[in-house]
């Protein structure tokens, strides 16, 4: 079956611009996670959704970052006024559900964002 997909695979933008990164989770997965991976580092949690609602957005670095999941499937991560420090690989993952004993998270290939 289809895995988690992310588009675009690469995005180059200029400082100050607005970008949107899209994630299509595995069909039927109710939990969706966004992580950011900087060069040479492990993934860093940003936000996760249970259904349509953001259950935990404590990892968003500032108010330039926002994410939505309006119909409980596809999610979009939005970054306003991009800065060079936002350059990273943005990873999306989904799991069947989010419970006290976590299900396996399936990761997409990521979107590599470069801010010039």
Partner 1 sequence: AQSVTQLGSHVSVSEGALVLLRCNYSSSVPPYLFWYVQYPNQGLQLLLKYTTGATLVKGINGFEAEFKKSETSFHLTKPSAHMSDAAEYFCAVSGGNQGGKLIFGQGTELSVKP
Q: Which residues of this chain interact with partner 1, rule CB under 8 A?
A: 3-4, 31, 33, 35, 40-45, 48, 50, 55-56, 59, 91, 93, 95, 98-99, 101-110
Q: Name the residue nearer to partner 1 (CB basis): 14 or 53.
A: 53
C-alpha 87 chain-centroid distance: 14
Under 8 Å between Cβ of 35 and 57: no
Question: Which residues, in sequence order, are CB contacts of 73 under 8 Å at separation 6+?
Answer: 24, 25, 27
Question: Nearest distance from residue 41's CB to partner 1, in Å?
Answer: 6
Q: Name the residue nearer to partner 1 (CB basis): 28 or 102.
A: 102
Q: How far apart are CA 41 and CA 45, in angstroms?
A: 12
Question: Nearest distance from residue 15's CB to partner 1, in Å?
Answer: 27
Q: Name the residue nearer to partner 1 (CB basis): 12 or 15.
A: 12
User: By three-state DSSP, how is residue 85 classified?
Assistant: helix
- CA dihedral sign, ordered 41, 93, 98, 62: positive
Question: Nearest distance from residue 70's CB to partner 1, in Å?
Answer: 21
Q: Name the residue nearer to partner 1 (CB basis): 31 or 79.
A: 31
Question: Nearest distance from residue 48's CB to partner 1, in Å?
Answer: 6
């Amino acid at each position: 079956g289809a895995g988690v997909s992310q588009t675009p695979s690469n995005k180059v933008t200029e400082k100050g611009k607005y970008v949107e990164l899209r994630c299509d989770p595995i069909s039927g997965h109710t939990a969706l996670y966004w992580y950011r991976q900087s060069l040479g580092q492990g993934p860093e949690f940003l936000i996760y959704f249970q259904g349509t609602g953001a259950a935990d957005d404590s990892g968003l670095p500032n108010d330039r970052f926002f994410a939505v999941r309006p119909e409980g499937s596809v999610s979009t991560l939005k970054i306003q006024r991009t800065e060079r420090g936002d350059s990273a690989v943005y990873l999306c993952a989904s799991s069947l559900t989010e419970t006290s004993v976590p299900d396996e998270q399936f990761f997409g290939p990521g979107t590599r964002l470069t801010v010039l």
